[in-house]
Amino acid sequence: MPDQMIEKNYTFFNEAMELRNLAKKHQEFFRNDIPLIASENIMSPLAKEMLLTDLGSRYAEGLPHHRYYQGNFYVDEIEDKIIELSNRLFGSKQTDPRPISGTNANMAVIYGFLNPGDLIAAPDLSGGGHISAARFGAVGFRGLDIKTYPYDPDTMTVLPDEASKMIIREKPKVCLFGQSVFLFPTPLKEMNDAFQEVGCRVWYDGAHVLGLLAGGRFQDPLREGADVITASTHKTFPGPQHGIILGSTSDENWKAVQRGVFPGTLSNHHLNSMAALGMTLVEELEFGKSYADQIIKNSKTLAEELASLGMNVLGESRGYTESHTLVADVTNFGGGKKVSETLESVGIILNKNLLPVDHNKNSQNPSGIRIGTQEITRIGFKESDCKELASLIIDSLKASDYDHIKEKVRDLKGRFNEIHYCYGREKPYEYINVFN
């Protein structure tokens, strides 16, 4: 082989190793730090195994047993099983496990239920709404008209009487509920009369609370008035980065949703990720209730402790939270940007977040922070650990010696070396070495 070719090969190999080392550094970062991002989680060993199978190299367009490619015999069996498991876990009539993300699932429902110019009602962004339901998100991309619900700024929850009046007055074609800050259940039952009067379809975005729904906690949207639920599968539901749609609706509505999935908004549906979703469904059938219970205990404890230490945690009138999430106004600590960056520097990872007081404010410099307990619960945190964590958060925001705080953070995180609420045990945040 010419010397020039050898040199080029070494150059390319070194570039590959550079990427590999960056990924390993990322693993090390999360091994040592405390993850509190409300939209993240870690998978079980069985679910991760599915991501490494040959399924990740294959295509399966269409529905099971009606594919456009050959070679899908086992894929069809896997997808059939996943649909059965999901319907059993969530008590749904229908499941589509093909969306490749929560936003993709949202786009499929938008595509299936709404045409450009139609009116949709949705939560306001400053009230915890998700960007896919904003004018610059998927809803705007479809060219829809949007009306937002009145909400309680302390609990960031839709006000049912005022929202019902708005629904009857505006007559939206679809009413969307579901938030990226989801502290308390949506009062769906209280608005059912309004839904019936205008004849709208009711859509619940359960991305953040899917794992709580799986555990029989938070609320039961399909029995409370929702036609469909969309969700991502990697937040309180501890699966892969994927999506899902659940239904308890007419065959006509469901066909429209499935057309929105394919060919509406995707082609292939990432079969290895779908299989990992299936593994997580099985584990949630066994462990989901205890996992959901502990998530909520941890979030309530963390919220109460932070409030007792001087942080302005929202939702005090209702006990701060009934989900995995809590939010706080940290203006007195310098605002959301400063607080999130300070905490990152000591190894506590959370995000800055818009609050109701931030209406029309720059989202890069909001008043608030958002905290999620689903991942720390997954690795074994209990209430006493959350109290210790709250003290570390407050100490960090008052400290001048960050190195001392960082050592305490690493010590706390170092006590949690297993993934819980799943089959088998594995050290979290481990790197898979392909050269072994």
What's the CATH code of the domain at 82? 3.40.640.10
Residue 288: the pLDDT is 98
Same domain, 134 and 230: yes
Same domain, 258 and 320: no
Residue 424 resides in a domain: no
Domain total of the chain? 2
Per-residue pLDDT of the chain (436 residues; tens, 9 = 90+): 455 555 567 778 888 899 999 999 999 999 999 999 999 999 999 999 999 999 999 999 999 999 999 999 999 999 999 999 999 999 999 999 999 999 999 999 999 999 999 999 999 887 888 878 777 778 888 899 999 999 999 999 999 999 999 999 999 999 999 999 999 999 999 999 999 999 999 999 999 999 999 999 999 999 999 999 999 999 999 999 999 999 999 999 999 999 999 999 999 999 999 999 999 999 999 999 999 999 999 999 999 999 999 999 999 999 999 999 999 999 999 999 999 999 999 999 999 999 998 876 677 889 999 999 999 999 999 999 999 999 999 999 998 888 999 999 999 999 998 999 999 877 888 877 767 6
Residue 401: the pLDDT is 84
Residue among 377, 432, 427, 431 at smallest CA distance from 238: 377
Same domain, 316 and 251: no
Residue among 414, 406, 412, 416 at smallest CA distance from 389: 412
Per-residue burial over 311-321, b = 16 or more CB atoms within 10 Å of its CB, e = otherwise:
bbbbbeeeebb
Same domain, 157 and 205: yes
Residue 192 resides in a domain: yes
Same domain, 180 and 250: yes
SS3 327: strand
Rounded Cα distance, 110 and 384, in Å: 43
Given 232, 254, 281, which residue is the final one in a domain? Answer: 281
Same domain, 201 and 343: no
Residue 388 resides in a domain: yes
* Residue whose entry in the numeric block shows the structure tokens 């239904």: 247
Residue 4: the pLDDT is 57
Residues 6+ apart with CB under 8 A from 111: 142, 259, 260, 264, 265
Rounded Cα distance, 359 and 341, in Å: 22
- Beta strands, E only, 276-359: 312-313, 325-329, 348-349, 351-353
Same domain, 262 and 325: no
Residue 379 resides in a domain: yes
Q: Domain of 266? A: 47-281
As given in the structure block, the two tokens for residue 11 are 């150059």
Same domain, 366 and 395: yes
Same domain, 190 and 58: yes
